[in-house]
Structure 1
Amino acid sequence: MHDVEIIILCSVVIGVLGELTLTERDAAKWASSPFENDTSIRPFTVTFCEYDIKDLKTRLSDSSRSFVPSLQGVGFEYGFNSKLLPEWRSYWANQYNFKARLSYINKYPQFKTNIQGTDVHFVRVLPQNTVFCEVLPLLILHSFPSTFLEFYKVVPRLTRCVNGLAFEVILPSIPGYGFSDPPTKVGFGAAEAATVMKNLMKRIGHPQFFLASGDITHVGAMMATLYPHVVLGFFANNLVSYNPLSWGLWVAGALSPSLLADKTYQNKMYPLGSTITSFLAETGFVHILATQPDAIGVAMNESPTGMMAFILQVSQWLANNASVYQPDGGLGLVNRDEALDSVNIYWFSNCLTSAGRLYSETFNNRTYQEEIYARKTHVPTWIITANSSAITQAPAQYAIKYKCLLQTTYLDKYGLFLANQAPDYYANSIHNAVSFMQACHLSNVYSDYQQL
């Protein structure tokens, strides 16, 4: 066993060792692959084979057992309302056009390359017209339970030259998600995923880049904290500061909320008791993924209907918290094909278990003992908080951790999947944020940051 693997194993099992060095993080191998010594970048095309499609439809058509009826007068408060299951299941089996949707999924160039033992899948789109236009690399990270498809609508908006600026857009699948290999060793959490993503960008040819993330999986925040010389700027929607002082300020603010935040934020943060109760009631998926990902994974991987219900329920709550009280859970406004595209990726790649493990390897004693959450982040940061954020934090809470906080914005609508819900707003916000970050770097406003 390699020295780095011994260190990682000991830190997981014993939970008493300090944080790994960046060199040790780079050297870690998280899986075995025929391509683990291959540094090439290989073209990749998503395929759903006919056998697997037939198997899926057979499972969806199995009506040997009936669904347990939902309680009278409820929407989605208890989970996916079983009244809607036959309709969605029938659409998936009989009306969803697999060939047409595969064409959509493959509309942008896709690749694989091996990083630290894992084959990493990513989409890479370059601007077509770069005359009089500066092109900057932009890594955009998906969250759970979404995929790289979450950002398809913003790709043409970001690769188009606006005010002399366009982006080369890279959309990876985090290891364990979609078409990236799952880690096979204990210890692969958000910090480790951040290292793999950083090394992916280096492999592509970008030792420095801008980063965007809807950060429920924390990978973006970890990357900005661990690699301030690599990440030129961090654009985040629905970010949460897990710095202990940020939480302490929230609790202390309950004594006089107006001293911490204006009414826009207060209404989402207080009263403290009801806010915490509501959060715990609606985030059961986080708790089970963080503790028993393999158990829930068995159920999801055996039943496409169960997986669909789970993913759509969680996605809708993250997109619009109030949707759980609606009879249809807000699904009447959802594009069914787009929703099922992501479900298909989880189903055909059989990745829900490995995706859930990222939570269990992040929300644990090892992560907290490394104290990355408590460390200051010196990367220029731009934060958007949507109305349906799982947790709403005031600018003062963010400022405790993010020492180069350029702007915080609160939106009175939308949720975690801002790029899909409001693609124009999302793309324009990134353009504005990066333009400001560029100006700050050029004017040496962050000279202290650059010397870190």
Structure 2
Amino acid sequence: MKIRPFTIEIAQSEIDDLKKRISTWREPDQLQAIGWAQGTEYEELSRLMQYWRTGFDWRKHEAAWNIHPHYQTDIGGETIHFVHARAAVATGRTIILTHGWPGSVFEFHRLIPLLTDPLSHGGRQEDAFNVVVPSIPGYGFSSRPTRPGFNLFAVADLWAELMSRLGYERYLAQGGDLGASVSTCLAHAHPGSLAGVHLNFIPGSFSPPHDASPDGDLTPEERTFLERKAGWADLHGAYAHIQATRPQTLAYGLTDSPVGLAAWMIEKFRDWSDCDGELANAAFSRDDL
């Protein structure tokens, strides 16, 4: 049950290996004037890889990330990394924030001080929170699951034990993307511990039951929504299907090639952000990516 302080410090050998792999990547062909229509665009990826190899300052960003108090603890055979930042006032409520994919705890890097000390950022003292931000197993500095059947409810159980270990009996939960599913499972499995749940994404598996037949109970607007949803899944949902059904096959390429991993992920950051198709217009920077 020991909780250990943790400091982010990437080994220089890992950074050197990353830069070597980027510098020796084999460039694929791309159809002329195709842009992003078939996936990550070559020129955009090349620029980002050049910056990652020569411009990204690892030590500067480690120092920025380490301003938050990081910890690790072992729960149920997994090592869980998490940030635990206490409210600036003793009356603060408590919230656990869960990231999604493709993401990590660093999604909340700028948000944490706004929640723990809102008074210093134009807010009200009574809105302060104790903030817990864990890395889902397989992400960041948490361990990678090794046993079959490790699902979202298993993650929710880890979160419940983590919060109990930190001394929190009742708290709020927030999540988006995969984190929304974890937060929903947390509410289902541990309702007595949850004072409330906030989701910025509603997992499809938790949609209310409905009858989609012509004589069913859906409004025209709801039918239009489901048609658009199905169309999106056909055109953009292949990534989720392969990650859900054949992740091991995909893992060989993405684990061995940082360029492949970057290409797999930045397409989603481009498609899912309000950047009008240009990463340069996004609210996040190259360093954030």
Q: Normalising to structure 2: TM-score of the pair? A: 0.89
Matching residue within 264, 276, 279 for 2:233: 279
Offset of residue 233 of structure 1: 0.5
Whole-Å separation in 1 of the counterparts to 2:9 and 2:70: 12
CA contact (8 A) 1:251 1:272 kept: no
* Whole-angstrom CA distance in 1 between matches of 2:214 and 2:191: 30
Residues 210 and 218 of structure 2 are in contact (CA less than 8 Å); yes or no, is this contact kept in structure 1?
no
Q: Partner of 2:192: helix, strand, or coil?
A: coil
Task: Choose from 67, 78, 85 the match for 2:28.
Answer: 67
Aligned to 1:101: 61
**Distance in 1 between the 2:213 and 2:245 partners?**
26
Q: How many residues align?
A: 282
- List structure 1 segments (4+ residues) > 4 angstroms apart after TM superposition: 249-255
Q: Structure 2 matches for 1:27-106, cutoff 5 A?
A: 39-62=1-24, 65-69=26-30, 71-106=31-66
In structure 1, what is the equivalent of residue 97 of structure 2?
A: 140
Residue 204, structure 1, aligned to residue 161, structure 2: no
Output the CA distance in 2 between the equivalents of 1:94 and 1:124: 33
Q: Aligned partners of 1:250 and 1:139: how far apart in 2?
A: 40
Question: What is the root-mean-square deviation in Å for CA atoms of aligned residues?
Answer: 2.3
Is the Cα–Cα contact under 8 Å of residues 116 and 128 in structure 2 kept in the other structure?
Answer: yes
User: CA 1:95 to 1:245, structure 2 compared with 1: closer, same or farther past 3 Å?
Assistant: closer
CA distance, structure 1, for counterparts of residue 213 and residue 130 of structure 2: 38
Give the Cα separation in 2 of the matches to 1:235 and 1:226: 16
In structure 2, distance between residues paired with 1:220 and 1:251? 34
Identity of aligned residues (%): 27
Q: Distance in 2 between matches of 1:103 and 1:244?
A: 42
Distance (Å, rounded) in 2 between the aligned partners of 1:318 and 1:247: 27
Q: 2:269 aligns with which of 304, 315, 325?
A: 315
**Counterpart mapping for 1:17-416 below 5 A:** 39-62=1-24, 65-69=26-30, 71-128=31-88, 130=89, 134-161=91-118, 162=124, 164-217=126-179, 218-243=181-206, 245-248=208-211, 256-258=219-221, 270=224, 272-320=226-274, 323=276, 326=277, 328=278, 330-333=279-282, 334-339=284-289
* One-letter amino acid of the structure 1 residue matched with residue 264 of structure 2: F
Q: 1:200 to 1:255 in 2, by over 3 A?
A: closer
For residues 174 and 252 of structure 1, the distance between their equivalents in structure 2, rounded to whole angstroms, comes to: 42
Report the CA distance between 1:255 and its aligned residue. Answer: 6.2
CA distance in 1, matches of 2:113, 2:193: 25
1:381-401 Cα shifts (integer Å, max 9, x gaps) = xxxxxxxxxxxxxxxxxxxxx
- Counterpart residue identity of residue 137, structure 1: T
Distance 2:225 2:199 in 1: 26
Give unpaired runs (5+ residues) of structure 1: 1-38, 261-268, 340-452
CA shift for structure 1 position 240: 2.7
C-alpha separation in 1, matches of 2:97 and 2:182: 11
Task: Give per-residue Cα distances to partners, 1:229-262, cap 9 Å, x unaligned.
Answer: 011100110123524643546987796425x5xx
Q: Residue 262 of structure 2 aligns to which amino acid in structure 1?
A: M
Asked whether the equivalents of residues 141 and 214 of structure 1 are also in contact (C-alpha less than 8 Å), the reply is yes
Q: Structure 1 279/90 Cα, relative in aligned 2: closer, same or farther at 3 Å?
A: same
Whichever residue aligns with residue 246 of structure 1, its letter is P
- Alpha-carbon distance in 1 for matches of 2:264, 2:216: 35
Distance, in Å, in 1 between the alignment partners of 2:214 and 2:156 is 30
Q: Is contact 2:210–2:217 with CA below 8 Å preserved after alignment?
A: no
TM-aligned CA deviation for residue 272 of structure 1: 4.1
**Contact 1:118–1:183 under 8 Å retained in 2:** yes
1:107 aligns to what SS in structure 2? coil
Q: Is the 8 A contact 1:160 1:166 kept in 2?
A: yes
Structure 2 unaligned spans of 5+: 119-123
Q: Distance in 2 between matches of 1:139 and 1:303?
A: 33
CA contact (8 A) 2:212 2:218 kept: no
d(CA) in 2 for partners of 1:271 and 1:220? 24
- Report the 3-state secondary structure (helix = DSSP H, G, I; strand = E; otherwise coil) of the residue aligned with 2:149: coil
- Residues 75 and 250 (structure 1 numbering): CA distance in 2 closer, same or farther, change over 3 Å? farther
What is the aligned partner in structure 1 of residue 121 from structure 2?
A: none
Is the 8 Å Cα contact of residues 120 and 181 (structure 1) preserved in structure 2? yes
Partner-residue secondary structure (3-state), 1:246: coil
- On the 8 A contact 2:211/2:218 being kept in 1, the answer is no
- Kindly provide the amino acid, as one letter, of the partner of residue 60 in structure 2: A
